[in-house]
Structure 1
Amino acid sequence: MKSIAASLLTVAALALPALPALANGAAPAAAAAPAAKADINAGSTKYGAACAACHGADGNSGVPANPKLAQQHPEYLVKQLEEFKSGKRTSPIMQGMAAQLTPADMKNIAHWAASNKAKPGFAKDKDLVILGEKIYRGGIADKQVAACAGCHSPNGAGIPAQYPRLSGQHADYTAAQLTAFRDGVRANSPQMAQIAARLSDKEIKAVADYIAGLR
């Protein structure tokens, strides 16, 4: 009888799933809960209340000083909102707005803005746009300035979760941000600060104008 009981215990043990070795007898950690999906409807409502006045009803700002948000990568938008809220990126207006947003608000707004199609922009200065194209596509070798297209793609679409979309962005806004990076006013991207530090006012204006016309 003892041998039969021992055999049954052995079979039962083999049927149980193997558990990982745990230090100090701790219980296995629970599986991480999946990240909540963005609520586009909530994002639309929050965007309309907090963002539309400056960035346009559909994310296509009509004010050259304010960026277009439509079709921007949501991960990039969330990062910027988080950094406005923390003070890593400074702007009296945006810091005040971001301070009122929860992480869920940021995610919802970002995904709603990304779901809207960006309206195309246009380059304005025929002479400068030639220089801008050279910088965007080929960089400036003697200044060790890398081509913008390497990170933001040849058509300005960017790389999701890594580099923002630039295509069709207002030239005034792009130039202002490059100048802010160069002058140390905007400090939330060491990579961009390093690149912008090597650009002249004319080069900044040229590449910003070229970006505005990218499709």
Structure 2
Amino acid sequence: MTIKTNWAAALLAVSCWAVPAAAATPAGPVDGRDNLARMQKSTPAEQKAAFEAGRKVAQFCANCHGEQAGARYAELPNLAGQHPVYLLNQIELFRVGRRIEPFMQGLGKALSPEEKAGVAFYYANLPADPSIATPGPRSAEGGQLFARHCARCHGAAGHGGENFPRLAGQQPEYLRQTLKRYLKNGPERIYPPMTAAVTGLGEQNIEAVVAYLSSLK
């Protein structure tokens, strides 16, 4: 398998992580889902092998998202600790063109189902550390706001799930930019439930939620 990349273009587009309203989750079967289910039920030795195989494939991702899934750029998401089904779903959305980014779309088409499952399995099993070690002055306030406006989908601890990303420990700038893009309902971020949630949160409270989530374990 040979994949030619334009990392500048990839970085610019992946930073948006734009999910159209109709494409929050794949509509049909997900390429690699059976492979992932098999990995999750396999023996410890087989899981170790799957993890290592996924790590090798993830070298394509490391240029932007970092060697240990701590993103190299402040505006990109950390992938460590994400739910493997969520990650696999996003690869599928890129593959079928319901998320638009040339490099990610090409990667989704080039990888085999086994490779996609391996990448998702690898990232899901990496430890996810907080981006900020010490909570900011508005962190406690942000926790209350998160519980009121965000926890129903992203979970009480911000760990996400099959259909929603993990927000706990994400980079502050990534969280900040993403929330503001949803608030403005621009082309980078189109998902009405999120726009409604951030509108209810209010722009003046974004920094409090960012302070809370970026330091959350």
TM range, smaller chain: 0.5 to 0.7
Larger radius of gyration: 1
Gaps of at least 5 residues in structure 1 are 1-33, 140-146
Does the CA contact (< 8 Å) of 2:55 and 2:119 recur in 1?
A: yes
Alpha-carbon distance in structure 1 between the residues aligned to 2:78 and 2:138? 22
1:64 and 2:74 matched: yes
Does the CA contact (< 8 Å) of 2:150 and 2:197 recur in 1?
A: no
Partner amino acid, structure 1, of 2:124: A
TM-score (norm 2): 0.66
1:201 and 2:203 matched: yes
1:130 Cα shift? Answer: 4.1
Alpha-carbon distance in structure 1 between the residues aligned to 2:203 and 2:167? 19
* Closer, same or farther: CA 196–103 of 1 in aligned 2, 3 Å: farther
Q: Which structure 2 residues correspond to residues 50-89 of structure 1 after superposition, within 5 A? A: 50-89=60-99
Deviations 1:140-171 (A, max 9, x none): xxxxxxx322332332222x323322110111
* Closer, same or farther: CA 91–131 of 1 in aligned 2, 3 Å: farther
Does the CA contact (< 8 Å) of 1:136 and 1:207 recur in 2?
A: yes
Q: Which structure 2 residues correspond to residues 128-139 of structure 1 after superposition, within 5 A? A: 128-137=138-147, 139=148
Identity value in percent: 31
Q: How many residues align?
A: 172
Report what 2:158 is aligned to: 156
1:168 and 2:178 matched: no
Report what 2:55 is aligned to: 44
Report what 1:122 is aligned to: 132
Alpha-carbon distance in structure 1 between the residues aligned to 2:113 and 2:192? 24
SS for the counterpart of 1:51 is helix
1:51 Cα shift? Answer: 0.5
Partner amino acid, structure 2, of 1:168: G
SS for the counterpart of 2:58 is helix
Does the CA contact (< 8 Å) of 1:125 and 1:209 recur in 2?
A: yes
SS for the counterpart of 1:61 is coil
